[in-house]
Amino acid sequence: MQIVRDILKTLPEGEVLDVRIGLHWIAVVMEVGGVQRCGLASTLSGGHHHDRVEADVPQAGHLETLGSRQLAEMALSCNLTQASIGIAAINALLPPCPQLWFEANAEDTIAEHGQGKRVVLVGRFPFTERLRQRVNELLVLEQNPGPGDLPASAAPEVLPKADVIAITGMTFANHTLEGLLALRPPHAKVIILGPSTPLSPVLFDYGVDILSGAVVTAIEPVLRTVSQGGDFRQVHRAGVRLVNIHRSNMNDH
């Protein structure tokens, strides 16, 4: 989890204003320097068990009373829901860098770099089958594999042979990212994608080439949609921009 610890070191202090834990997404609103920011993360859960002794979120109902760093440090938790809250808090605290952002969605980004190449997608996305038609070869690694997917345990076999590796940002919350990055071959282009992805230049120090994430532009509609079980298509429409940051552009700023 050293990557997450390094990102945490770069974050400013803020005030926790709101935390929404929806069916599909978590949204955290912080005020930093008088400006409100909202961060997203996918809602991960270990499952619903009525006989569980410990609560998934012990501070439920009082999360907004925690300090911003305390909330963000939940990203280090072994509890999937708490880790997801922490990633959303990190995304709310990360300083915006509009000079580095450019509009792009993950599907087009992967397709552009994967033309004629072998692509490994870590995590299944709604665009997976479309993407398969746009690259030479597409292998999908999934913790809960469906038809045509490979199990996550196949990563040591397939990642070293990839030309492009696209990794879901959910790997920050389940703490698998560093192990996946350790398997990349030197020539591979590495993309981290999805709204959970922290848009932090720290990731470029770990060999990531492109961050393909999301920026909330309309906080109240997004909070309402998250709270009412919205999927990402609905959250996106409510007020989210899809943006990329390229490591190759960092030297220009």
Confidence of residue 173 (pLDDT cuts 50, 70, 90): very high
Mean pLDDT, residues 34-60 taken together: 82
Q: Which two tokens stand for residue 202?
A: 């720290």
- Domain-located, residue 222: no
Domain stop point among 61, 93, 125: 93
Mean pLDDT, residues 212-225 taken together: 97
- Domain-located, residue 231: no
Instruction: Looking at the structure, tell me whether residues 138 and 246 fall in a common domain.
Output: yes
Q: Please say if the pLDDT value at position 108 is more than 60.
A: yes
Confidence of residue 249 (pLDDT cuts 50, 70, 90): confident
Residue reference for tokens 């020539």: 187
Q: Please say if the pLDDT value at position 234 is more than 80.
A: yes
Instruction: Looking at the structure, tell me whether residues 66 and 139 fall in a common domain.
Output: no
- Domain-located, residue 220: no
Instruction: Looking at the structure, tell me whether residues 137 and 247 fall in a common domain.
Output: yes
- Domain-located, residue 224: no
Q: For the chain, what is the HEC assignment?
A: CHHHHHHHHCCCCCEEEEEEECCCEEEEEEEECCEEEEEEEECCCCCCCCCCCCCCCCCCCCHHHCCHHHHHHHHHCCCHHHHHHHHHHHHHHCCCCCCCCEECCHHHHHHHHHCCCEEEEECCCCCHHHHHCCCCEEEEEECCCCCCCEEHHHHHHHHHHCCEEEEEHHHHCCCCHHHHHCCCCCCCEEEEECCCCCCCHHHHHHCCCEEEEEEECCHHHHHHHHHCCCCHHHHHHHHEEEEEEEHHHHHHC
- Domain-located, residue 230: no
Instruction: Looking at the structure, tell me whether residues 68 and 142 fall in a common domain.
Output: no
Predicted pLDDT of residue 48: 57
Range of the domain at 175: 102-213+241-252
Instruction: Looking at the structure, tell me whether residues 140 and 247 fall in a common domain.
Output: yes
- Domain-located, residue 27: yes
Q: Round the CA-based radius of gyration of the chain to a whole number and report it.
A: 18
- Domain-located, residue 233: no
Q: What is the mean pLDDT of the chain?
A: 94
Out of 54-63, 125-134, 175-184, pick the least confident. 54-63
C-alpha distance across the termini of the chain, in Å: 28
Instruction: Looking at the structure, tell me whether residues 58 and 123 fall in a common domain.
Output: no
Confidence of residue 52 (pLDDT cuts 50, 70, 90): low
Q: Please say if the pLDDT value at position 87 is more than 70.
A: yes
Confidence of residue 58 (pLDDT cuts 50, 70, 90): confident
**Predicted structure pTM score:** 0.94
Predicted pLDDT of residue 1: 85
CATH number for 27: 3.30.390.100
Instruction: Looking at the structure, tell me whether residues 245 and 138 fall in a common domain.
Output: yes
Instruction: Looking at the structure, tell me whether residues 55 and 129 fall in a common domain.
Output: no
Instruction: Looking at the structure, tell me whether residues 144 and 208 fall in a common domain.
Output: yes
Predicted pLDDT of residue 53: 62
Measured distance CA(115)–CA(199) in Å, rounded: 25
Confidence of residue 50 (pLDDT cuts 50, 70, 90): low
Measured distance CA(83)–CA(4) in Å, rounded: 11
Q: Please say if the pLDDT value at position 12 is more than 60.
A: yes
Predicted pLDDT of residue 172: 94
Measured distance CA(25)–CA(6) in Å, rounded: 24
Instruction: Looking at the structure, tell me whether residues 11 and 113 fall in a common domain.
Output: no
CATH number for 108: 3.40.50.11590
Instruction: Looking at the structure, tell me whether residues 129 and 193 fall in a common domain.
Output: yes
Predicted pLDDT of residue 54: 75
Predicted pLDDT of residue 248: 85
Predicted pLDDT of residue 153: 95
Domain stop point among 93, 113, 139: 93
Confidence of residue 182 (pLDDT cuts 50, 70, 90): very high
Instruction: Looking at the structure, tell me whether residues 122 and 67 fall in a common domain.
Output: no
- Domain-located, residue 158: yes
Q: Report CA-CA distances (Å) from 179 to 38, 76, 89, 112, 134.
A: 29, 15, 23, 26, 28
Mean pLDDT, residues 95-108 taken together: 92
Domain stop point among 93, 119, 152: 93
Q: Please say if the pLDDT value at position 253 is more than 70.
A: no
Q: How many domains does the chain divide into?
A: 2
